[in-house]
Amino acid sequence: TRLWVGLLSLLVFLYVRSFHVIYTIFGGGVVRIIVEILKRIIREPRPINCKRKKKSYGMPSSHSAIVIYFAIFISLQLYTSSLYEFFDFISIHTIQITSPIKTFIKLILISLFSSTALSVVWSRVALGYHTKKQVIAGMTLGFCLGVIWDRLWWRFWSKTLIGQEFHLF
């Protein structure tokens, strides 16, 4: 999973090349570091019936924390920005969309991110890699950090030159 997430992050970054993408990906890295620190402090093992024995601890679930972080952060960014800015962000400049359609597209995208994240969380329990308590802890951490990261974006970066127009190459 780390390989796929890393590869997807790299491809998005190379396509968009903006500070916003770096900020989003960096937030995922912060979540990962916090999860690893908490795992070493809490030291709760994975479920006994874990199908594939892993050496790392299970509390909190890193998959749950990271996927919920991305779902929450991206959903909040979509919700609080105009859809034109979002389309401009992904280089679709020629679309003329009315306001109700923009809202509908936002809801579809937020639903897609949320359902994908929840399916990943569910799979961690269904596959026996984590207990419900471990994924709930990961989800809570990811949710909180997604909201905090979004608030930090709007507080410190969104109005600056870097937050709006900075492209690396």
pLDDT of residue 38: 92
pLDDT in tens, the chain (169 residues): 567 767 776 777 677 667 777 888 889 999 999 999 998 988 887 777 766 666 777 789 888 899 999 999 988 888 776 544 555 554 444 455 556 777 777 788 888 888 888 888 898 888 878 889 999 999 999 999 999 999 888 888 776 655 454 444 4
Would you say 36 and 62 are in contact if contact means Cβ atoms under 8 Å apart?
yes
d(CA 15, CA 24): 14
Give the pair of three-digit tokens for residue 159: 């109005």
pLDDT of residue 167: 46
